[in-house]
Amino acid sequence: MGSAGRQVAADWGENGMAGWTADLSEQVALVTGASQGIGRAVALELARNGARVACVARSVDKLAQTVDAIRQAGGTAEAFACDVRDRDSVEKTVEGVVALWQRLDILVNNAGVTRDTLLPRMTDEEWDEVIQTNLRGAFLFARAVSRHMMRARYGRIINMTSVSGLIGNPGQTNYSASKAGLIGLTRSLSRELASRQITINAVAPGFIESDMTRALGPALLEEAKKRIPARRLGTPEDVAAAVLFLASPAAGYITGHVLVVDGGMTG
């Protein structure tokens, strides 16, 4: 591991969240939806392993805790406000990151929203907002960063999908469609860019501890745990560990893959 990676790993503790380290020193990562939950955990984990991290969300203020945590541990991070649905905003953000650090090696498309309701009640706005944020946003960022990665002949793009994109979920036709679309985007783009040493993979979390799952209430959470062979909910750190592997040099021959992180729920 490079000196930057060793320093950050030491500050976080040698075992860190994943229990192992990858040498991402000198690399630059961009993580969307980095203000909380899985996105925050991913940003912290990549920084712990030496990457300089561009933390992206709609509001810079919401990113303050993530950026401060990385800096206090000896890492390097900057906050970027961006509406992932807007092409100009996305391209400005990518150009800003490249201007700051002269490269962009890793993209984690994590930003996402839910607007759950049964299909007969779902409004056009609820459909459009989820598709625009979860799927169009990933497309816009992948397109923008791929230009830089193709010139560098290296890159890692990781799309945050969901088990809902694999098996569906009642009340989530918009969300499940967006996440299934991400899987199609991942597999198609992996075939386009593999010859340039750019890998495109997806991570599909199951039930993960979050504000959204806590809102289900204790009874529903207990029922959910019964469906999970591991008998527990996952943590954001569990997902971050999977992202770290796919972002690392060790995963250089893995592309077009969907890595499911669900405690065995989908088999």
Taking residues 66-90, what's their average pLDDT?
98
Q: What pLDDT is attached to residue 19?
A: 66
Taking residues 198-220, what's their average pLDDT?
87
Q: Is 167 helix (H, G, I), strand (E, B) or coil?
A: helix
Any alpha helices (H) in 13-152, and if so which ranges? 37-48, 64-72, 87-101, 124-131, 137-152
Nearest to 95 by CA among 80, 75, 85: 80
Nearest to 193 by CA among 144, 156, 141: 156
Q: Where residue 212 falls among pLDDT bands split at 50, 70, 90?
A: confident
The answer to whether the beta carbons of residues 108 and 161 sit under 8 Å apart is no
CATH node for 3-261: 3.40.50.720
pLDDT tens readout for residues 123-156: 999 999 999 999 999 999 999 999 999 999 999 9
Domain assignments of the chain as residue spans, ordered by start: 3-261
- The residues carrying an active-site annotation are 175
The tally of CA atoms less than 13 A away on the side-chain side of residue 103 is: 15
Residue 2, pLDDT above cutoff 70: no
